Structure 1
Amino acid sequence: MDARKIALPLLSPLWLGFYLLPAQADIAKTSGGLEIVSDDGNFSAKLGARIHFDTYLFDADIEDPVSTTEFRRARITLTGEAYSWKYKLEQDFAAGDTLAGFRDVWIGHDFFGGTIKVGQFKPFRAMEELTSSNEILMLERPFTTATGIYDGRQFQQGLGWNNHWDCFTAGVMAFNLRNADTPRNEGVGAAGRFTWAPVNNDLSTLHLGASYSYENANRASEPLEADGDYAGRRGPSQLIALTPGDEEFFFGDFGDEEFFLGSQGGTVHGAGLELAGTWGPFYAQAEYTYGNYEGDYRVSELFFEELFDAPPSFECDEEFGCFIGDQDVHAWYIQGSWLITGEHKPYNSKKGVFKSAKPNSPWGAWELTARYESIQNDEISDLEADSWIVGINYYHNPKVRFMLNLRFGDDDFTGDGTDQLGIRAQMSW
């Protein structure tokens, strides 16, 4: 007899039982986003994204930047948990390549009431730096952030811990002076931030904060710079201060037309203060950051002009060039807004930052904005940049926003006064 004719009747109850068993499936959640949670609850994954599309139009002065369009951000974000371990993986496709596009990439776990993270993320310094790009008031962050005094050092790789309780937040991080896109090096740093919101209710909030940052450019570290994009992104920028890092700039001999000689490496210390608040539809925020950039180097007048875009404003030695020692940098801003449709800007008490308003009506919300900002080097005469910005934000719904900024730039060192009209169409979820 054919064995298959005997086996099939015996197996048929097993197949029937298999089909009658309840299905074990992951759970999909769609409230406010797309999230998948495993049936046993041990794993979750939530998908988010942001699209920021910008248009820049310049009124040129001495400099002649190109008016253009670009994707400022085009990110995919994956967050979730795996057996009580948290994770975040964020890629910005507008950055140019995979490594340059790494933003927050870390794993974390609950630790002493807060969260300890290892990987790549932002050091805890500057209120506006830690505000999400989906929530910032203007198209670009002010000079107290990686847009200015911490230029090029927005994301770093290391270990950090943050927590919040009642009306306080605290965060500390120890890091390597690199992100996924920069060379391996032995530079190290540390940063910490503490905030207090003694008033925080449905009508008003008062926020106070302080931060400290230390960076040491050891072997193979890139230069540490303070820089001011005084006419907005894709416009001209002014180098404000420089600690040279290790080896990159050191070349030539005294007497050459172009040389850069002196002590390699160096440290940067930064300290910041924060004051912000809301009252009904009105909002105001200010920060001040002091930075000390270590220096002990000499450059030729020709190379000084290449670095700073203008001849030195001080006398240089005919033989040994221009000496640059320690540089004290001051960066500050004050900004505010009025939600003319009556909404209230909420406060994120877990992070110690403000969020964007949510429209009260299907017609959306309108917000008038303004900011003044300045950054200067005390040791080099006239090395200062500042700008005025006025704008308007339209929140079509909680996920879609349109922004318009008119920026009046001023570079005291070169005399340039380039202005910019910036427009953004933004969607995030």
Structure 2
Amino acid sequence: MIPMAPLWAAETADDVRPVTATFGGRLHLDFADFDNDSRGTPNKDDTEVRRAWLDMSGRFFVVDYKLEADFSGDRVEAKDVYVSRDFSGGKLTVGQFKQYFSLDDRTGSNYGSFLERGNAGTTLAPLYRLGASWQAARNDMTWAASAYSLESIDAWQVKGRAAGGRVTWAPGATAGDVLHLGLSLAHERYDNPGGNGVPGLKIRPRPAGHLSDNSRLTLVDFSAGRDTDVNKWSMEYAQVRGPISWQGEFSGASFDDGLQRGKVLAGYGMLSWFVTGESRAYDSKTGRFARVKNIQHKAGAFELALRYDQMRGDQHLIGQPDLRDGRTEAWTLGGNWYMRPNLRFMLNLIDSRNRDQLAGATVDHTRAVTGRLQFDF
């Protein structure tokens, strides 16, 4: 990141009210090559600008601020857009920001071991929403709570309100020696999903990467225009022991619109090994993984990672048999070459399957090779 530089300051030391700005960004260039089976519509081999973010952050008199946007799509999409203020025990944030849900989602896309997060991180996490939050860190613990709208700056058609929070504990965490435990909870109330022009509420993970839209399986669908209550949770566990780390989460959600009910359960387990001896970096103040800085060789750092990820959903009319019961699962083998702390090449080999439990049949089997060139500043 470019060091913070004052843009304005008062002339006297008695009345210093600085305005500062720091500029940053990230560029993720992706490709995907698919081996599709004969069931369903095949996914197309493709390339994409997955992310092209620019951000500005700093201080404006008595508050901190951040403005961040993604320019990779057909239109500019707002990400973090907020102001915050430190108090004696924590920080108050108001605006649009990523909600506090799960280790997988809270770990930034620049620092994950795989191109994409697991199923729960991509479908259950609330992502960027308008609201207010309180967050703090003390004595090896972090905690955050927020009240938020289900709207965002770019998705104002989604109506509703929610509240959630996350707490983590990492006793005595040091570089290369971390034990992380965490719990996330959220309650969301959707107004008329699927009715009056409001988008439907569906859980449809992409099993073989961001470009595998044609392999998506609908696990639950609450789009009949009735108000829907959703309760979400995620239990987190991770450890780092030198160059080896392992991590897992068990997540779920229940859905109820007064006529139908549904539930989703998801879990993943992953193992990471830095062949060149580095360790995954951990930020104790935010309870998440961070940038790998301790590159030990001129050629860079090399990481191998393996993940198994599965998600299952069912839905039924109250008092009736299941209308749907599906499961998706994927094995992902990843390799990461960190040429610099802010420059890396990623390669993932994915083997995914979707299964209709009611029919007792596999409905999709897709293999993929995906990759990314990533740079951030």
Q: What's the TM-score once normalised by structure 2's chain length?
A: 0.88
The 2-side partners of 1:354 and 1:51 are apart by: 20
Contact 1:149 1:225 (C-alpha < 8 Å) held by counterparts: no
| Pairing 1:36–2:13 present | no
Segments of structure 1 that go 5 or more residues without pairing to the other structure are: 1-31, 251-263, 298-324
The 1-side partners of 2:365 and 2:130 are apart by: 37
Name the residue aligned to 2:285.
Answer: 350
Name the residue aligned to 1:137.
Answer: 113
Give how far 1:355 is off. Answer: 2.0
- Cα RMSD of the aligned pairs, angstroms, is 1.7
1:60-209 paired onto structure 2 within 5 Å: 60-61=36-37, 62=39, 63-98=41-76, 101-145=77-121, 147-150=122-125, 153-184=126-157, 186-209=159-182
Name the residue aligned to 2:305.
Answer: 369
Name the residue aligned to 2:263.
Answer: 328
The 1-side partners of 2:239 and 2:304 are apart by: 16
Give how far 1:382 is off. Answer: 4.5
1:240-389 paired onto structure 2 within 5 Å: 240-244=219-223, 249=224, 264-296=226-258, 325-358=260-293, 359-379=295-315, 380=322, 382-389=325-332
| Pairing 1:50–2:26 present | yes
Higher strand fraction: Structure 1 or Structure 2?
2
Give how far 1:240 is off. Answer: 1.1
The 1-side partners of 2:88 and 2:265 are apart by: 36
The 2-side partners of 1:174 and 1:211 are apart by: 14
Q: What's the TM-score once normalised by structure 1's chain length?
A: 0.78
The 2-side partners of 1:136 and 1:279 are apart by: 17
Deviation string, structure 1 residues 87-108 (Cα, Å, up to 9, x no partner): 000010013213xx10111111
Contact 2:141 2:168 (C-alpha < 8 Å) held by counterparts: yes
Letter in 2 for 1:35: M
1:410 to 342, 353, 374: 353
Q: How many residues align?
A: 349
Deviation string, structure 1 residues 75-120 (Cα, Å, up to 9, x no partner): 101000011201000010013213xx10111111113421111111
Contact 1:230 1:385 (C-alpha < 8 Å) held by counterparts: yes
| Pairing 1:400–2:343 present | yes
The 1-side partners of 2:287 and 2:183 are apart by: 11
Give how far 1:369 is off. Answer: 0.7
Secondary structure of residue in 2 paired with 1:103: strand
Contact 2:347 2:371 (C-alpha < 8 Å) held by counterparts: yes
The 2-side partners of 1:185 and 1:425 are apart by: 33
Percent of aligned pairs with the same amino acid: 30
Segments of structure 2 that go 5 or more residues without pairing to the other structure are: 10-16, 316-321, 357-361
Deviates more, 1:178-187 or 1:418-427: 178-187
Contact 1:334 1:373 (C-alpha < 8 Å) held by counterparts: yes
1:225 to 202, 211, 218: 202
